[in-house]
Structure 1
Amino acid sequence: MSIDIEKLSKMRSVARTLAECDFDEVNLLFHELHTDEVMQGQWEDEDGYERSNEERFSAVLNIIRDLPRDIVEELVPAVSQLFETTIQMNRQQGVRPLFLFASHLTSQKALVGQVSSYLKSWGIMLFVAHESIVPDHEWLKEIEKALHDCDAGVAFLSPHFNESKWCDQEVGWLLGREVPCYALKFHDEDPYGPFGKKQAFPVRADMTAEKIGDEIIRWLSTKPELTNGFYASMVEALKLSQNYHRTDLVWKQLYSATGLDSHEVASILAAIRDNDQVYNASGGVGGENGEYKELAFKLALKQPGFETNRDLAKEVAKSRGLESLLPVESTSDVSDDADPWAVDF
């Protein structure tokens, strides 16, 4: 018997996050999952005082600990979106989609918020202080946490940016951590100080939030130190794809991925199983063309995270007519004493 450390880590992270959320909203999620729900007494005592986070954590963990792996995988992005928070994962327990920090003036708030929404559809989280901080949370603490945890930064340089002590310190923090930081300049507002060594991208007046988001994605794809997180984001984008054109665009970024872990492979398989904009679509890159359900399944087969998803892979292959792609030993019925997946890949 092997211990699924990654699954356990995700359950702990989800439980930690839900322990800080509202009682009714947590139970709404559990109702949707058709699981047991948290008892009122586990959230507050008979006098109406809140239980400690540790007590709430234990209550949630007891409910989700028997959930299958694929449901646990889906809980991480679901909880992040439903409760508008970021689930902090131990970086040693698997790769997460990219988490970026946006440094901007209040005058850019609306535009940056639109860019953030667009990037989210690509599986990329852009931390925007006025949108990303949950009400009642200490805003300064949340900003410091985001600056500490982000994979990269994006500076929206507009007039008077250098006069803002907040923006100035945010960029300084990012540079001090030596994470990639991209400068987008509006109205020819160039980077300055140590940040001035970097070439800024000039944003034209007619550029939409989507076009700016596309430029950020292009930049991210060129940073070798962000490759693993970038692939994790593209896997998430495949699951989220809402049309064939987006599936084409995502595949151009994802088709050459290597080293995908079990979570990423599970997400690819889930996209093939659940998203009709993936399993009904066709396309490809270069000479590798065909139905995306087949192309994506072949990609999943080559990854180190495939073996731990063997049961899910069999389910997906059966539902999408892909049995012929499975290892030979797994395509036919075998006796209970035999292991149909005992194959050398």
Structure 2
Amino acid sequence: MIEIEREDSKWTFERTNLLLSEFGYTPLDWRDNREEFTFGDSVREASDVDLIEMFSIISGADKIDVQAQLDAAESTLWKPGYVRVFVSHSALHKKFIGEVANELAVSGIHAFVAHDTMEYEQSWQDQIEHGLRTMQAFVAITHPEFLTSAWCQQEVGWALGRAVPNYVIRYPDDPAGFIGRTQWPQATDERYGDVAARILEWVSRMPEFSDQIATGLLSALRAAENYIDAGATATRIATVNTLTPQQWNELAEIYHTNDQVGGAGLVRKALQPFYHSHKKTWPPPQPGETRITT
């Protein structure tokens, strides 16, 4: 069950009670001295269907998007904290797309690639549909076989129907149908790292993902199992314009708890100038440590 918190000043006491009454829940009584009886108490036994609809009314968010967020939170197909990008492609090029996905993972983006992401002993079609329902963005890699694949075309239609941000990389063919109205980049001669960089640059430009990219990068750095991955992720973190105070603290904590990060020369090469440019102490202090610099 999800919780609804009312923070918008437009939601007055009277309007809140009207909402509760409309859904058949006990309204709040300002004359009641039971201060512990709250909005949350009133909807404690509410179904998720009612809660989603109420949250949609209060926040203005689309119910489909709210449900997608809930589904993603409970999903085992997506890495927690990563930007969820569904990559539509022809199965003939699965090795190349798998390399693109691996490169994106270092940058905090989880690319749903059917042959890599799906779990065994579960319906493959159900998992693809789940990925399409819970994705935050959609990328199509249009190899020649893409245009004749009914599955790829349905995935495009799903993305357009959900109105999630979408992006096409021509490799080399132009996309067909509604998504072909835009002039998309050509990447025929590019390696998987270049294609991944194009996707990362596109995702990073969207304000709704900028903070999540930083969160995903920190998650990737925390999970780094070797100094090469740690160095690559640190290099990408150094391109982030701003980190919140909490993210700076998390970065310091990761530096001191993952020996593939704190002991790596590649990480130091990437992060030391980044720290200095933001007037931060290098190396980062231990969590809770106060260090005076001159």
TM-score bucket of the superposed structures, by smaller chain: 0.5 to 0.7
In structure 2, relative to structure 1, the CA distance for the partners of 1:273 and 1:213 (3 Å cut) is same
Q: CA deviation at 1:145?
A: 0.5
Change (3 A) 1:267 1:85: farther
Which moves more between the two structures, 103-112 or 267-276? 267-276
Letter in 2 for 1:191: P
3-state SS of paired residue (2:273): strand
| Native 8 Å contact 2:77 2:131 kept in 1 | no
**What's 2:188 paired with?**
204
- Report Cα offsets for 1:89-138 as digits up to 9, x if no partner: 7xxxxxx3201111101111110111112212222211111111111111
2:119 aligns with 134
Q: Which residue matches 2:40?
A: none
Aligned length: 209
| 1:288 pairs with one of 265, 278, 285 | 278
Q: d(CA) in 2 for partners of 1:255 and 1:274?
A: 24
Does residue 93 of structure 2 align to residue 101 of structure 1? Answer: no
How much has 1:87 moved relative to structure 2?
A: 5.4
Looking at structure 1, the residues matched to 282 and 85 of structure 2 have their Cα atoms a distance apart, in angstroms, of 29
Tell me, in whole angstroms, the C-alpha distance in 2 between the residues paired with 1:255 and 1:292: 18
Q: Distance in 2 between matches of 1:287 and 1:269?
A: 16
Shift of 1:276: 4.3
Residue 317 of structure 1 is matched in structure 2 by 287
Distance 1:130 1:317 in 2: 40
TM-score (norm 2): 0.62
For each residue in 1:34-53, what CA deviation from the matched residue of structure 2 results, as whole angstroms up to 9, or x when unmatched?
xxxxxxxxxxxxxxxxxxxx
Q: Distance in 1 between matches of 2:195 and 2:253?
A: 29
- Mapping of residues 48-127 of structure 1, within 5 Å: 85-86=76-77, 96-127=81-112
Aligned twin of 2:205 = 222
Question: In structure 2, the residue corresponding to 1:238 is in which secondary structure?
Answer: helix
CA–CA distance in 2 between the matches of 1:247 and 1:116? 14
Match of 1:168 in 2: 153
Match of 2:254 among 271, 286, 293: 271
Residue 265 to residue 257, structure 1, CA distance change in 2 (3 Å): closer
Compared CA separation, residues 212 and 290, structure 1 to 2 (3 A): same
Instruction: Determine the structure 2 residue equivalent to 1:253.
Output: 239
Where 1:283 maps in the other structure, the secondary structure is: helix
Identity level (%): 26
State the match for 1:232 in structure 2. 215
Using structure 1 for the length normalisation, give the TM-score. 0.53
**Residue pair 2:107, 2:217 contacting (<8 A) in 1 also:** yes
In the other structure, the counterpart of 2:179 is 195
What residue is the counterpart of 1:81 in the other structure?
Answer: none
Query: 2:176 is aligned with what amino acid?
Result: Y
Look up the SS of the partner of 1:201 in the other structure: coil
Gaps of 5+ in 2: 4-74
Q: Give the letter aligned to residue 232 of structure 2.
A: R
Q: Which has the higher contact order (CA 8 A, sep 6+)?
A: 2
Runs (4+) off by over 6 Å: none
Distance 1:293 1:286 in 2: 10
Question: How far is 1:232 from its partner?
Answer: 1.8
Q: Does 1:186 align with 2:171?
A: yes
RMSD over aligned Cα atoms: 3.0
